[in-house]
Structure 1
Amino acid sequence: MRASERRTARDVSRLGLLRDQLGRVAKRLPLRRRLSRGTAHGVMSACAAIVAYLPTQALGLREGFWSAITALAVAQTEFGATRSTARDQFTGAAIGGMIGLGTYLAAGPSLPSYALSVLLSIVACGLVNVASAGRLAAITATILLLVPHLGSVERMLWSRVFEVGWGVCVAIVTVWIVTRINRRLGIAL
């Protein structure tokens, strides 16, 4: 291992320790501060979910709740965490959707094809170096192969990927706006 790689690994380890310490400090905050932080995060998340959900009906997406769910899953109090979660959500949906569709078309709807989709989705995420998206890919494959739906599996795939993508975009923009406002006002969450 080269010196720069050792330094990088050491820095990552230190950041992990710092994150853990900050988590412990946050748990010791007074009740009033925790309440205000929770309220702020709740308001931001609710706004992101509503903005993600409302246009889906006008766009003809029958299951726009997936956009709202995605926005809720992605919206974090820190912009960096939001970006990372957003990447995982979208990558997982795309990989799991494509593998689920491919398995469905090749083997039809069955428990063995479902199990194969889950396996291949998780492996594919690892191969493209986004292993953290594996469970989300498996969830998308599950939705495609096990959840009853109207219309073709192809339409379901594109609807799901669009709904997740829209939810991701709304969450990122919402958190970005809130982060900018908080910086200008000198508020730390």
Structure 2
Amino acid sequence: MSDSRSSIHRHHRRLGLLATELDRLRKTLPPRERLIVGLMQAVRVGAGATLGYFAARAVGLDQGFWAAITAISVTQNSFAEVKNSSRDQFIGAIFGGLLGLTAAALGDDHYLFYVIAVMFGTLLCWLINLGAAGRISSVTTTIIMLVPHTGPFWQIALLRLGEVMIGAMAALLVTWLVDRLASRLGFNEPIH
């Protein structure tokens, strides 16, 4: 095995161990802290989904549920985490939209073009060191190519991108506000 491959495997193993340890530590929180952390997360998720949904509807996007879904999927315990997750959503949606459009233009009803677009989007995101964006790229391509819709593919791609942007912005705003509120209530740092 090459040094590069060995290094990658070591990093993946260490990240896996770190994630397992973080999960274990979360489970050791006393019930009161779990309740507080869970309540703060529930407020973030509920408010972000609500803001995303109604903001999308307010600007004329009939399927505001995509903005709500995005807000829910990017909501984390801190503004920095939401910012990174939102970046991944946005980049993934752009790649998925462009690849979905290209694949649809090349082979509207050919499943092979869909699979190639999904795989290519995942690969591109990994090449720019944003592996999480690859999942979003694949989901966006799937929505464009496999979810029944009316209208041209380019319109569907632009609408999904707009809804993703609105949902991500809603999650960012809500997380920022909840962090400020937590600070005013006496928490020195956002609750994690």
Query: Does the TM-score normalized on the shorter chain lie above 0.5?
Result: yes
Q: What corresponds to 1:3 in structure 2?
A: none
Over 3 Å counting, the alpha-carbon distance change for 1:64 and 1:30 in structure 2 is same
- In 1: Cα distance, 2:172 partner to 2:26 partner: 24
Q: Which residue of 1 aligns with 2:93?
A: 93
Amino acid at match of 1:44: R
For 2:49, the equivalent position in structure 1 comes to 49
Q: Which moved more, 1:104-113 or 1:45-54?
A: 104-113
Give the C-alpha shift of residue 106 in structure 1: 1.8
Give the Cα–Cα distance (whole angstroms) in 2 for the partners of residues 150 and 44 of structure 1.
33
How many residues were matched structurally? 177
Deviation track 1:76-131 (CA, whole Å, cap 9, x = no partner) reads 11222111111111111110111110111122222111111111111221233322
Residue 58 of structure 2 corresponds to residue 58 of structure 1:
yes
Q: Report whether the alignment pairs 1:138 with 2:138.
A: yes
Whole-angstrom CA distance in 1 between matches of 2:158 and 2:67: 13
TM-score, with length taken from structure 1: 0.85
Q: In the superposition, relative to structure 1, how do residues 68 and 174 fare at CA in structure 2: closer, same or farther (>3 Å)? A: same
Q: Distance in 2 between matches of 1:37 and 1:129?
A: 30
CA distance in structure 2 between the partners assigned to 1:39 and 1:182 by the alignment: 12
Q: Which residue of 2 aligns with 1:6?
A: none
User: Match for residue 128 of structure 2?
Assistant: 128
How do 1:99-118 and structure 2 match up within 5 A?
99-118=99-118
Cα distance in structure 2, aligned partners of 1:25 and 1:158: 41
Q: Distance in 1 between matches of 2:149 and 2:92?
A: 20
Q: Is the 8 A contact 2:125 2:133 kept in 1?
A: yes
Report the alpha carbon displacement of residue 21 of structure 1 after superposing the two structures with TM. 4.8
More displaced stretch, 101-110 vs 156-165? 101-110
Distance 1:43 1:93, change over 3 A: same
1:81 & 1:166 partners in 2: Cα distance?
17
Instruction: Check if 1:185 corresponds to 2:185.
Output: yes
Confirm or deny: 8 A CA contact 2:44 2:171 kept in the other structure.
no
Residue 157 of structure 1: aligned partner: 157
Any stretches of 5+ residues in structure 1 without a counterpart? 1-9
CA distance in 2, matches of 1:106, 1:186: 57
Between the aligned partners of 1:175 and 1:158, the Cα distance in structure 2 is 26
Letter in 1 for 2:72: L
Structure 2, unaligned runs of 5 or more: 1-10
> Are 1:34 and 2:55 matched, yes or no?
no
